[in-house]
Amino acid sequence: MTLKLAIFDVDGTLVDSQGDIVASMTAAFELSSHPAPPRDAILRLVGRALELSVATLAPRDGAEVQAAMVQRYKDTYASLRQSGGNGSSPYPGIHDMLERLARIDPLLLGIATGKSRRGLTALLGSLDWDVRFVTTQVGDDYPSKPHPAMLQACLSETGVDAQDAVMIGDTTFDMDMARAAGIPFIGVSWGYHPARQLTDAVAVVDTAEALEQTILTTLGDLA
């Protein structure tokens, strides 16, 4: 039996966390000499390392201010999460889809996300998804997407070949990371980058049901 691996991005793919993301970045910009950028500008950078996102959004602030902004973002995000937050809820159909996929014996589930380990652990625990994923790679430990290191770690930990894996995400960062790792990419249309930008995807899907079927079709024989 050949093991297969479906690797998921988190923010914008499994959960809609834009409320907490925008609120946290807005709080971070209270330390900047410039006003917070608009929502769309913030969401376009979701998936990259937080340090890179802050540097991109606040290029005229020095390294010391940027570091303080990163910490303010993390503290605000954690506080929002503990208080219920404004977002981070699964997209329609995602929870049931993951339950069905988890019951397929040759199929393993993984995560490759720019979230911190602390943030991912808290999210998975709050959704009772702790046991769903056998490999979880986070932004704390690797270069930012689209560097393929996180996907390479997923393959290494599970012993699955790239040809037997698929990456699912909502951004061009996810798409480019998958291409760099030699892994097929499935795009979702409900995330933070326009679907028309996901040009290298084997498919771009509009629903969790379509995503489930496309994962199974892309990975082939799961008997």
> Given 11, 16, 20, 174, which residue is catalytic?
11
> Given 9, 16, 20, 174, which residue is catalytic?
9
Sign for the pseudo-dihedral over CA of 38, 138, 132, 76: negative
61 is annotated as an active-site residue:
no
How far apart, in Å, are the Cα atoms of 223 and each of 30, 44, 106, 208? 54, 39, 7, 22
Alpha carbons 13 and 88: distance in angstroms, whole number: 11
Alpha carbons 44 and 41: distance in angstroms, whole number: 5
11 is annotated as an active-site residue:
yes
Alpha carbons 23 and 11: distance in angstroms, whole number: 15
Which residues are annotated as catalytic? Answer: 9, 11
